[in-house]
């Protein structure tokens, strides 16, 4: 019986390893759902790395197992093993192949970073400033809250001075030179995230964005380094005190996604969580409109009242004043 050539075995093994590696790279299930325009770019790069790692694992571990069986010590064989003193072609092979793989992955990663907007961080043309006065938020079923201090004492300028470029993920090559559809100033502090919408004056403890909109986050920190990470977006950007950073993205799937701080920032770092709520355009406009009305810009006094505890007249009093309804009018209606 003629022995099968080693070259044929090698070819068959190479085909099987390639098929298995590609399948594992596309079906590993290690990543959460994709919810941003940038996510497929990151996932494509990650899938290739998983495929390469799977192939290397199969080749290395498979070779070890084959050698364990083929070159095991036979019973009664007390002779020395074959003396092997290096193999120059083999050493060149296992040095050159990993070097080529690493070089190709490096070039590919730079291309992905560029297509995500990493090589075009924001400049002065898309700086946004936030002057956030004290406000009152009144949302049905929740408390009414506002700061006690005068509005002028709370003005904050989160963005960089004019002419200063920010670092981070900026506009993609197809969006360079275009203004973002929505700008949000994000402030990290121990141990919370604050979100300010400078165009509407709305402030929130969670990020609300419309699906399909080009969103620009101007990120800063008030104390130590934090890191803003949304796993489903495949995006992460540090918040650095004194150095403005930027994160620009397009959400593609409505839903609620976690915001995690991934930079150890203190004793309660693990609880520094928030969330991104991706609305349909109609839902976002409704949310923005409701909060713009609720967060009055001209109030300097603070109240903390639970609407459910108010009487009907107390609850309706502010609205009655706006409509020009007086106590005499109410008395006549009652009669």
**240 within a domain of the structure (yes/no):** yes
Q: What is the 3-state secondary structure (H, E, C) of the chain?
A: CCCCCHHHHHHHHHHHHHHHHHHHHHCCCCCCCCCECCHHHHHHHHHHHHHHHHHHHHHHHHHHHHHHHHCCCCCCCCCCCCCCCCCHHHHHHHHHHHHHHHHHHHHHHHHHHHHHCCCCCCCHHHCCCCECCCCEEECCCCCEEECCCCHHHHECCCCCCCCCCCEEECCCCCCCCCCCCEEEEEEEECCEEEEEECCCCEEECCEEEECCCEEEEEEEECCCCEEEEEHHHCEEEEEEECECEEEEEEECCCEEEEEEECCCCCCCHHHCEEEEEEECHHHHHHHHHHHHHHCECCCCCCCCECHHHCCHHHHHHHHHHHHCCCHHHHHHHHC
Would you say residue 79 lies in a domain? Answer: no
| Residue 330 counted as domain residue | no
Inside any domain, residue 335: no
| Number of folded domains that form the chain | 2
Each residue's pLDDT tens digit, 114-144: 999 888 765 434 444 433 333 333 333 333 3
Q: Is 146 found in the same domain as 31? A: no
Q: How does residue 325 score in pLDDT terms, banded at 50, 70 and 90? A: low
Domain that holds residue 181: 124-319
Q: Is the pLDDT of residue 243 over 50?
A: yes
Same domain, yes or no: 34 and 160: no
Length of the chain as a residue count: 335
- The CATH number covering residue 209 comes to 2.60.40.420
Q: Could you tell me if 54 and 138 lie in one domain? A: no
Distance, CA of 60 to chain centre: 35
Task: Tell me what pLDDT residue 168 has.
Answer: 87
Q: What is the pLDDT of residue 303?
A: 52
Q: Do residues 130 and 220 share a domain? A: yes
Whether 3 is in a domain gets the answer no
Specify whether 157 is located in the same domain as 106.
no
Domain co-membership, 259 together with 128: yes
- Asked whether residue 293 falls in the same domain as residue 241, the answer is yes
Residue 92, pLDDT score? 92
308 and 246 in a single domain? The answer is: yes
User: Do both 155 and 211 map to the same domain?
Assistant: yes
Both 109 and 203 in one domain: the answer is: no
Asked if residue 220 has pLDDT above 70, the reply is yes
The answer to whether residues 149 and 92 belong to one domain is: no
Report residue 327's pLDDT band, with 50, 70 and 90 as the boundaries. Answer: low
Taking residue 57's Cβ as centre, other Cβ atoms within 10 Å add up to 13
Span 266-307, pLDDT tens digits:
999 999 999 999 999 999 999 998 888 887 655 555 455 666
Whether 222 is in a domain gets the answer: yes
* Statement to judge: residues 248 and 100 lie in one domain: no
| pLDDT tens-digit readout, 25-79 | 999 999 999 999 999 999 999 999 999 999 999 999 999 999 899 888 888 888 8
């Amino acid at each position: 019986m003629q022995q099968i050539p080693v070259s044929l075995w090698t070819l068959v093994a190479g085909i099987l390893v390639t098929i298995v590696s590609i399948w594992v790279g596309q079906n590993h299930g290690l990543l959460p759902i994709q919810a941003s325009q940038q996510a497929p770019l990151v996932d494509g790069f990650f899938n290739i790395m998983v495929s390469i790692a799977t192939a290397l694992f199969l080749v290395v571990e498979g070779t070890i197992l084959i050698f364990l069986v083929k070159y095991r010590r036979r019973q009664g064989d007390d002779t020395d093993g074959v003396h092997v003193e290096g193999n120059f072609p083999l050493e060149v092979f296992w040095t050159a192949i990993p070097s080529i793989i690493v070089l190709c992955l490096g070039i590919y990663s730079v291309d992905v970073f560029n297509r995500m907007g990493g090589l075009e961080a924001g400049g002065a043309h898309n700086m946004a400033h936030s002057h956030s006065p004290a406000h009152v938020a009144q949302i049905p079923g929740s408390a009414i809250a506002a700061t006690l201090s005068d509005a002028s004492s709370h003005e904050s300028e989160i963005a960089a001075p004019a002419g200063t470029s920010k670092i981070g993920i900026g506009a993609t090559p197809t969006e360079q030179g275009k203004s973002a559809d929505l700008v949000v100033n994000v402030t990290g502090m121990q141990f919370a995230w604050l979100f300010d919408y400078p165009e509407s004056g709305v402030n929130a403890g969670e990020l609300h964005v419309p699906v399909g909109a080009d969103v620009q986050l101007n990120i800063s920190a008030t104390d130590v380094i934090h890191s803003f990470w949304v796993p489903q977006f495949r995006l992460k950007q540090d918040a650095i005190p004194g150095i403005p950073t930027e994160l620009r993205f397009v959400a593609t799937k409505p839903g609620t996604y976690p915001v995690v701080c991934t930079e150890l920032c203190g004793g309660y770092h693990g609880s520094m969580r928030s969330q991104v709520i991706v609305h349909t355009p109609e839902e976002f406009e409704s949310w923005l409109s409701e909060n713009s009305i609720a967060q009055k810009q001209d109030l300097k006094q603070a109240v903390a009242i639970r609407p459910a505890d108010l009487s009907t007249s107390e609850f309706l009093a502010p609205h009655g004043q706006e409509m020009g309804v007086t106590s005499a009018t109410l008395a006549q209606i009652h009669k």
